Amino acid sequence: MSIQVTSKLPHVGTTIFTVMSQMAAEHGAINLSQGFPDYDGPAALKDAVKRHIDQGFNQYPPMAGVLPLREAVAAKVLDCYGAQVSPDTEVTITPGATEAIYCAVMAIVTPGDEVIMFDPAYDSYEPAVLLAQGKPVRLPLAPPAYRIDWQRVRDVITPRTRMILVNSPHNPTGTVMTAADMAELAALAERHNLIVVSDEVYEHLVFDGQRHESVLLYPELAARSFAVSSFGKTYHVTGWKTGYCVAPPALTTELRRVHQFVTFVGITPIQLGLAEFMRAHPEHLRELPAFYQAKRDVFNSAMAGSRFRLTPSSGTYFQLADYSAISSLPDREFVTWLTREVGVAAIPVSVFYATPPAARYVRFCFCKNEDTLRAAAAKLAAL
């Protein structure tokens, strides 16, 4: 007898990141699709993790994460955003930012609560809301500027609106929120008593001298926000799946209630290694914007003569490109063709929308060695 199940996520298939990375591998294409570096994390960081493994730090850490890493996060948050947070009651180490976002949503959203998010939206947001039996309210960011239309946000707020989920620097568009956006967000959240989930995994990847607008810069916003980040992005170790969440004590208590039954904890030696590296190498964070800006510039200059039209990338390690001068294929078909026939894999942007716009964009990832970027751009510029 076959087992009958009612899917809780009937519309969810394999994520586009897995699909495209697999296709790239099958066809030997240069993989500018899924966001991960083709270079390694710092040697001193890897050594620190290995040393902690060898020294026997291989059992469960505390549920909130090892104290030295929570202290390092608190020190960093003070240094970068002037926010004084308690490592005990306001910082939680999680197995990736994804887990933190999931736990924050699960902790707050009750059946029928509305959660505002912006398309193109990172793919984990909506499933988390649906599993909490909340209602995703997806507002489009219009190309090519992809700014939040705050009037539209005001128009969709109802008494059931409970949460707003923002992401800056923004994946996949590379846009960053401004101080004016933060003022709008703070005012709306206050007026309607909303909880904010602020996905800031690319907080240290902001270019051209701009400042990252963290919710932690604004005490009134910080008081009602989960600020989420990822060591994977910051230290070039996406496969270590380690992130954190900073939130005021009342929100952290609720986050941890869920976190302790989703995963309970992350991995001890990785957390201790990160703590040691953060203390010993504060310059890593200072150097990161220039490191990624240089990669963006190498890729974009190499693409200058191409028929792709690039939108400005102010942050993240992603670059959007309008391919309408090259092809009239829908973006999923275009990236399949690009991977198989041209040898470069990219992400179709329509998959991040509830209702995709007519514009034709793909996302290229530039957290790659310069040789990789130049080789990919040479193929793309020939189209």
DSSP per-residue string spanning 219-286 = HHHHTTEEEEEEHHHHTT-GGG--EEEE--HHHHHHHHHHHHHHTS---HHHHHHHHHHHHH-THHHH
> Residues 287, 289, 295, CA angle at the centre, nearest 5°?
105
Residue closer to ligand PMP by CB (options 71, 123) is: 123
Q: Which of 57, 81, 102, 122 binds ligand PMP (CB under 6 A)?
A: 122
Residue closer to ligand PMP by CB (options 57, 231) is: 231
Any contact of residue 230 with ligand PMP (CB under 6 A)? yes
> At which residue do the structure tokens 């996905």 appear?
199
Element (H, E) at 8: none
Residue closer to ligand PMP by CB (options 230, 293) is: 230
End-to-end CA gap in the chain? 53
CA 250 to centroid of chain Cα atoms: 24
Q: Which of 243, 289, 348, 356 binds ligand PMP (CB under 6 A)?
A: 243
For the bound state, the minimum distance from the C-beta of residue 56 to ligand GLN, rounded and expressed in Å, comes to 32
Dist CA 57 CA 42 (whole Å): 21
Q: Where are the alpha helices (DSSP H) in 172-218?
A: 179-191
Long-range contacts of 149-152 (CB under 8 A, 24+ apart): 150/181, 150/184, 150/188
Residue 76 partner contact from ligand GLN, ligand PMP, none using kind-dependent CB cut-offs of 5 to 8 Å: none
How far are the Cα atoms of 166, 185, 219, 326 from residue 129, in angstroms, in the given order? 14, 20, 26, 37
- Is the previous residue joined to 144 through a cis bond, with omega within 30 degrees of 0? yes
x/- site string to ligand PMP, residues 31 to 70, per CB under 6 A? ----x-----------------------------------
> At which residue do the structure tokens 């495209």 appear?
20
Q: Which of 167, 168, 171, 242 binds ligand GLN (CB under 6 A)?
A: 171
Dist CA 72 CA 83 (whole Å): 13
x/- site string to ligand GLN, residues 30 to 69, per CB under 6 A? ----xx----------------------------------
Residue closer to ligand GLN by CB (options 120, 136) is: 120
Q: Which two tokens stand for residue 361?
A: 């964009």
Residue 308 partner contact from ligand PMP, ligand GLN, none using kind-dependent CB cut-offs of 5 to 8 Å: none
Residue closer to ligand PMP by CB (options 342, 364) is: 364
x/- site string to ligand GLN, residues 116 to 155, per CB under 6 A? ----------------------------------------
Residue 34 partner contact from ligand GLN, ligand PMP, none using kind-dependent CB cut-offs of 5 to 8 Å: ligand GLN
Q: How many residues does the chain have?
A: 383
Give me the residue whose beta carbon is nearest to ligand PMP. Answer: 96
For the bound state, the minimum distance from the C-beta of residue 125 to ligand PMP, rounded and expressed in Å, comes to 8
The dihedral region occupied by 322, where left means phi > 0, alpha psi between -120 and 50, and beta the remainder, is: beta
Residue 15 partner contact from ligand PMP, ligand GLN, none using kind-dependent CB cut-offs of 5 to 8 Å: ligand GLN
- How many amino acids of this chain bind ligand PMP (CB under 6 A)? 14
Half-sphere exposure of 96 (CA within 13 A, CB side): 11
Residue closer to ligand PMP by CB (options 326, 347) is: 347
Dist CA 129 CA 260 (whole Å): 19
Beta bridge partners of 34: none
Dist CA 312 CA 174 (whole Å): 7
Q: Which of 15, 260, 263, 311 binds ligand GLN (CB under 6 A)?
A: 15
Residue 247 partner contact from ligand PMP, ligand GLN, none using kind-dependent CB cut-offs of 5 to 8 Å: none
For the bound state, the minimum distance from the C-beta of residue 36 to ligand GLN, rounded and expressed in Å, comes to 7
For the bound state, the minimum distance from the C-beta of residue 224 to ligand PMP, rounded and expressed in Å, comes to 20
Q: Where does this chain bind ligand GLN (CB under 6 A)?
A: 15, 17, 34-35, 171
Q: Where does this chain bind ligand PMP (CB under 6 A)?
A: 35, 96-98, 122, 167, 171, 199, 201, 230, 232, 238, 241, 243
